[in-house]
Amino acid sequence: MPQEKLIRKYFSLVMLFTPAMLFGLLLFIYRNNAKLHITNSFPFLPWQFLLIITFGILATTGGVLDWRFHRNPLNMKIPKKERDAEAVALSLGGVPMFILMWLAMINSKPEVFLIPIIIVLIYTVVAICYDEFVFHIKRCGKLENFYHRLLVFGNAIAWLCWFHFIYYK
């Protein structure tokens, strides 16, 4: 298998784990930042982070199951247009959102990031809805829809917990 095809095959799987790994790494690096409220005693992390971990795991599980589902030759392969739509949603929605949320979380004035976060949120929701309503609604069965719901709603609840941590103090 050519290297380019191999990279394309596993790129979405790697990207699925990237936010969780990056979030964990940044928490470790910034563990002494007072804004994160990380303590030396149990439960160590604020409750919002515990929910982010829980729902992030559910979302990632849904994403991995969906990824595996599409690698089975008996199941429908994802068309190029759908892959492109998902890549655009991730690169122009998910990546900027992660950066903005992290910067807001460690900044002394997180309200500066509120409008950009809302703009990226709107874009991301539109991109996800486009993917779901254009590509998935017609062809997905119950099992694949379940995987998508785990992925989308798990990420949504994790994001809401993160937003709550940043702006509700």
pLDDT in tens, 47-97: 999 999 999 999 999 989 988 887 776 776 777 787 777 778 877 888 899
CA distances from 34 to 30, 85, 113 (A): 9, 39, 19
| Residues with Cβ within 8 Å of residue 97, at least 6 apart in sequence | 117, 120, 121, 124, 159
Mean pLDDT of 119-135: 89
Number of domains in the chain: 1
pTM of the model: 0.87
Assess if residue 128 is contained within a domain: yes
| Domain assignment present for 6 | no
Q: Is residue 19 part of a domain?
A: yes
Residue 91's pLDDT is what? Answer: 79
∠ CA 154-157-160, nearest 5°, is 150
Give me 32's structure tokens. 């002494």
Share of the chain above pLDDT 70, in %: 94
pLDDT exceeds 90 at position 101? yes
What is the average pLDDT value for the chain, to the nearest integer? 88
Q: What number of helices (H) and strands (E) belong to the chain?
A: 7, 0
Instruction: Please report whether residue 7 resides in a domain.
Output: no
Tell me, what's the pLDDT at 76?
A: 67
Q: Does residue 2 sit within a domain? A: no
- Stronger pLDDT, 70 or 6, i.e. the higher one: 70
Is residue 37 a part of any domain in this protein?
no
Q: Which domain holds residue 49?
A: 14-30+45-167
**Does residue 147 lie within any of the structural domains?**
yes
CA angle 87–90–96, rounded 5-degree value: 140
In a domain, 5, yes or no: no
